[in-house]
Amino acid sequence: MKTFTIDAENNITLHPSRKAARDTGAGVFATEEQFADLIGPDNKRLVEIWNSLSGVKPVTKFANRKVATERIWKAIQGLGEAPAAAPAAEPQPASAEAGAAPAELPVAESARPQEDAILQGEIEPSALKDAGASGIVEPAANVGAPAPQGAPAKAKATRKTTPVQKAAAAAKGAKKAKAEGGAREGSKTAAVVALLERKGGATLAEIMKATGWQAHSVRGFISGTLGKKMGRTMESTKREDGERLYQLKG
C-alpha cells in the first residue's frame, strides 16, 4: 500500500514506508478516506491541491467534496512510478529494384559506420546521398575532405539544453533553497515566517486567519516545515488569557 504525506503548502509526497512518512511531521495518509479526513471540510484547500498537481486541468470549484477527493486520489496514484518505455519500431525490410546486383554485405552492417559517424557528429545527415539499388547510404563527394593545413577545426555543438532539462535545473534550485531555509516571496510560508519573527510572535488564530489553514495544518507546518526542514527554533509561551503564542528565535 502506498503511503503519502501532505504538508501545509499542499505538497504531496510518496514515501517508501509509513515510518518514513511519519518522520516528516506532515499529515500521513494511505487511503482516499484518510486523505479526506486529513483535509476536512476545507473545499477551498481541495481546489488548491488539485490545481497544484502536474498535468491536470485547473478548476475553480468542485461539485462536492467527495468528487474532489476521488479525483485527487486517482491523480496521485502515479507518483513514484517510472514511465513505460515506448515499444521499439520493427525494422522494415529494404526493397531492391528488379535486376539490381545484391550488395556484398547486409544493408544494416554496411550503413552502420555512417550511422555511428552521424551520432558522433562526424557526418551531417544532409551530407549523405540517397540509397541506391544496393540500399547502402554513401556520403556525398565533399564529405570528409581534409581541412586546409594550419586552419583550426571548428567544433560543432552536438548537445543543447532542452526545456525539460532547464525545468529540472530550476526545480532542483528551488528545492535546494527550500532545504536551506529559504521561503519563496509572497508564499504562505513567507507570510507565516513574517508573523512568527515579529516582536511578540503570533497566536494560532492569527496564523489560521492569515493562511486559511486548519489548526492541525498550522501545527504540522510549525513542527515539520519550520522545525525539521528549515531547522528553525520555535518558542511557545502562554499569555495571561491562556492564548498560546509562537515565536521564531534566531
Q: How confident is the model at residue 92 (pLDDT cuts 50, 70, 90)?
A: low
- What is the value of pTM for the model shown? 0.36
User: Rg of the chain's alpha carbons, rounded to an integer?
Assistant: 30
Q: Which residue did the predictor score with more confidence, 231 or 48?
A: 48
Residue 195 is placed in which grid cell? Answer: 508573523
Does pLDDT of 105 surpass 50?
no
Alpha helices in 76-162 (DSSP H): 107-119
Q: Return the top range by mean pLDDT from 45-54, 90-99, 148-157, 167-176.
A: 45-54
pLDDT at 134: 45
- Find the helix or strand (DSSP H, E) in which 19 lies: helix 18-22
Question: How many CB atoms neighbour CB 193 within 10 A?
Answer: 18
**Which residue from 228, 234, 217 is spatially nearest to 8, judged by alpha carbons?**
217
Q: Are 227 and 25 in contact (CB under 8 A)?
A: yes
Instruction: Tell me the mean pLDDT in the region 133-155.
Output: 51
CA distance 30 to 22: 12
All three cell numbers of 131: 540509397
> 10 Å Cβ neighbour count for 73?
17
The architecture CATH gives domain 181-249: Orthogonal Bundle (1.10)
CA dist 169 and 152 (Å) reads: 34
Structural domain boundaries of the chain? 3-78, 181-249
Percentage of residues of the chain with pLDDT beyond 70: 58
Question: Average per-residue pLDDT in the chain?
Answer: 74
Look at residue 239 and tell me whether its pLDDT is greater than 70: yes
